[in-house]
C-alpha cells in the first residue's frame, strides 16, 4: 500500500468553532420541539435538512425514525461508526431559556439535542476532508435512547449491513464511538475509561402472596407485609455478602405497596426494584440471588413469592483499545488537562451498550458546565433545570470528527 501521511487534525477545533452558530441554532430548534421515544418525525426532518448537500448516502430506517448516513472517503479503508441520539424525556422544563420546550411534558434534559447537532457538525467537518479520508464514516442518528431501545432496533434493521464501498473494496466496520454531554464535568472535558462505563439496568417486581384477614387476628391470616419487609432487608444483605466489592451491584427498592387501611391484612404485598451491575456475570448472579432470597423468605413464612424480571439495557463496556483511542484523541485535540480517565463507572444505563456488544469502541462523556460554575452543584442531566454550556459543542464536534479521523488514519503513521 502506498505510504500516506496521517491526516492533519490541528485545525479541527477552529473549523468546529466556525460551525458553532449553525450548530447552536439547530440544537435550539430541536430543544424547542422535543419528541419522545422511537418516532421522531420533526427531529428527523430537521436532521435531514441539515445534512442536505453533504456527500452522504442516507438510509431512513422504517421501524424507527433512525437515520444511517454513510460518508465514503476518497481512499480505501475500513468503516467507523459515530453515534448521536435524538430523543427527549417525558418531563416538564423549567430552565426559563428563551428556546425552552414548547411541548407540554417533553424536554431535552439529557442533552440529546446537542448530540444530534454535534453529529451533524461532525458530518460537515468530515465531509470537507472526504478526499483524503481512508475509509468510511457511518453516522448513526438514533431515536429512543431513553428506555425505548432505539439502538437495538436500528441494529435489528440492519444498521451495520453497510456492504462494500462503491468501488467494490471491502470496508468492514472496525470501531464505534459515542459522546454523552454532562453537567458533571467542566466544559471541554472528555472523560472515559476502559471496561465498564455504565451499568446494566434491570427491574424486578416481587409479589408476596399470603392470606387476607382481620388485623386483630394475624395468626388466622397470613400477613404478606412483614414478609415483604424481610425480603427488602435481606436483598441489601445479599448484595454485601454475595457480590464482590470489586464487581459491584446495586439494588434499590423504589416502591413497596400493600394494603388499604390499618385494620385489614391484605392478601399481597408488592416490591419493585431496580438492579444495576457492571458485569454480565454479576448481573446474572444477582438475578439468581434475588430469586433465591425472595423465594426462601416467603416459603419460611408459609407465603409465596412470584418474581417478574424485566431486562433493561446491558452493561456499556468500552473496549480497552477503544477507550485508549478516545483518551489519545482527546489529548491530541483538547489537551492533557481536559482529558480524564475515570476511576469508576457510572451506574446509569445507556443503549449504546448494544452497539458496543457488536463492535469494539468506546463511549465518552463531554463536560458542559461553564468554567465559572461548579459541576458539583450544577443541575444534573434529567433535571427540569439542567442547562448545558453550548460552547462545549465545539469540543464535541471536534472530538466526533477526530475519533473518526484517527481511527481511520492513526497518528504517527
Ligand atoms: Zn438520559
Ligand atoms: Zn442520554
Spans of all domains in the chain: 12-197+315-408, 200-310
CA of 322 to the centre of ligand 2 (A): 20
Counting ligands in written order, the one closest to the CA of 146 is: 1
Contacts of 411 (CB under 8 A, 6+ apart): 6, 328, 332
What crossing angle do the helices spanning 320-333 and 392-408 adopt, rounded to 10°?
A: 120
Ligand nearest to the CA of 180: 2
| Ligand number with the minimum distance to the CA of 111 | 2
In the chain, what is the greatest distance between 2 CA atoms, to the nearest angstrom?
89
Distance 404 CA to ligand 1 centre (A): 24
Cell numbers standing for residue 181: 454531554
Closest CA to 273 of 296, 250, 300, 248: 250
Distance 144 CA to ligand 1 centre (A): 10
Give the pLDDT confidence score for residue 72 in this predicted structure. Answer: 97
Residue 312, CA distances (Å) to 24, 91, 288 in order: 33, 21, 16
Cell digits of residue 361: 469502541
Nearest Cα to Cα of residue 69 among 87, 84, 90, 88: 84
How many whole angstroms from 71 Cα to the centroid of ligand 2?
25
Handedness of CA 399, 364, 406, 157 (dihedral sign): negative
Amino acid 370: pLDDT: 84
Distance between Cα 134 and ligand 2 center (Å): 31
Q: What is the pLDDT of residue 413?
A: 53
**pLDDT number for residue 373:** 87
Topology (CATH) of 200-310: Alpha-Beta Plaits (3.30.70)
Note down pLDDT in tens along the chain; length 413 residues.
556 789 999 999 999 999 999 999 999 999 999 999 999 999 999 999 999 999 999 999 999 999 999 999 999 999 999 999 999 999 999 999 999 999 999 999 999 999 999 999 999 999 999 999 999 999 999 999 999 999 999 999 999 999 999 889 999 999 999 999 999 999 999 999 999 999 999 999 999 999 999 999 999 999 999 999 999 999 999 999 999 999 999 999 999 999 999 999 999 999 999 999 999 999 999 999 999 999 999 999 999 999 999 999 999 999 999 999 999 999 999 999 999 999 999 999 999 999 999 999 999 999 999 888 899 999 999 999 999 999 999 999 999 999 999 999 998 75
% of the chain at pLDDT higher than 70: 99
- Other CB atoms within 10 A of residue 392 CB: 26
Ligand number nearest CA of 85 is 2
Annotated active-site positions, please?
A: 313, 390
Helix axes 41-51, 20-32, angle to 10 degrees: 160
Whole-angstrom distance, CA of residue 137 vs CA of residue 194: 23
Within 10 Å of residue 74's Cβ, how many Cβ atoms? 11
Pick the CATH number of 12-197+315-408 from 3.40.630.10, 3.40.50.2300, 1.10.10.10, 3.40.430.10: 3.40.630.10
Distance 147 CA to ligand 1 centre (A): 9
143 Cα: distance to centroid of ligand 1 (angstroms) = 12
Amino acid at each position: 500500500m502506498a505510504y500516506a501521511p496521517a491526516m492533519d487534525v490541528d485545525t479541527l477545533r477552529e473549523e468546529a468553532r466556525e460551525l458553532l452558530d449553525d450548530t447552536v441554532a439547530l440544537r435550539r430548534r430541536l430543544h424547542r420541539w422535543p419528541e419522545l421515544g422511537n418516532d421522531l418525525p420533526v427531529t428527523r426532518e430537521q436532521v435531514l435538512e441539515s445534512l442536505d448537500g453533504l456527500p452522504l448516502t442516507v438510509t431512513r430506517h422504517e421501524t424507527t425514525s433512525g437515520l444511517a448516513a454513510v460518508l465514503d472517503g476518497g481512499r480505501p479503508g475500513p468503516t467507523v461508526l459515530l453515534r448521536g441520539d435524538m430523543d427527549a424525556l417525558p418531563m416538564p422544563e423549567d430552565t426559563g431559556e428563551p428556546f425552552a420546550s414548547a411541548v407540554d411534558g417533553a424536554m431535552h434534559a439529557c442533552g440529546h439535542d446537542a448530540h444530534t447537532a454535534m453529529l451533524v457538525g461532525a458530518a460537515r467537518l468530515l465531509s470537507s476532508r472526504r478526499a483524503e479520508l481512508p475509509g468510511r464514516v457511518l453516522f448513526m442518528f438514533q431515536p429512543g435512547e431513553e428506555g425505548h431501545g432505539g439502538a437495538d432496533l436500528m441494529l435489528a434493521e440492519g444498521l451495520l449491513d453497510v456492504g462494500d464501498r462503491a468501488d467494490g473494496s471491502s470496508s468492514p466496520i472496525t470501531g464505534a464511538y459515542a459522546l454523552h454531554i454532562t453537567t458533571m464535568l467542566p466544559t471541554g472535558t472528555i472523560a472515559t475509561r476502559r471496561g465498564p462505563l455504565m451499568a446494566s439496568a434491570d427491574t424486578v417486581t416481587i409479589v408476596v402472596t399470603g392470606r387476607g384477614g382481620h388485623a386483630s387476628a394475624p395468626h388466622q391470616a397470613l400477613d404478606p407485609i412483614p414478609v415483604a419487609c424481610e425480603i427488602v432487608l435481606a436483598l441489601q444483605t445479599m448484595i454485601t455478602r454475595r457480590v464482590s466489592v470489586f464487581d459491584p451491584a446495586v439494588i434499590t427498592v423504589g416502591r413497596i405497596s400493600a394494603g388499604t387501611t390499618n385494620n385489614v391484612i391484605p392478601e399481597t404485598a408488592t416490591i419493585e426494584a431496580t438492579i444495576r451491575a457492571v458485569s454480565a456475570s454479576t448481573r446474572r448472579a444477582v438475578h439468581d440471588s434475588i430469586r433465591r432470597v425472595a423465594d426462601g423468605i416467603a416459603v419460611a413464612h408459609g407465603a409465596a413469592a412470584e418474581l417478574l424480571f424485566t431486562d433493561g439495557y446491558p452493561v456499556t463496556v468500552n473496549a480497552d483499545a477503544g477507550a485508549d483511542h478516545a483518551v489519545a484523541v482527546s489529548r491530541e485535540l483538547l489537551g492533557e488537562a481536559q482529558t480524564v480517565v475515570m476511576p469508576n463507572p457510572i451506574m446509569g444505563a445507556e443503549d449504546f451498550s448494544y452497539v458496543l456488544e457488536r463492535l469494539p469502541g468506546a463511549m465518552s462523556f463531554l463536560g458542559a458546565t461553564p468554567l465559572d460554575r461548579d459541576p458539583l452543584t450544577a443541575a444534573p442531566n434529567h433535571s427540569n433545570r439542567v442547562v448545558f454550556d453550548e460552547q462545549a459543542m465545539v469540543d464535541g464536534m471536534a472530538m466526533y470528527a477526530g475519533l473518526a479521523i484517527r481511527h481511520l488514519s492513526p497518528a504517527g503513521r
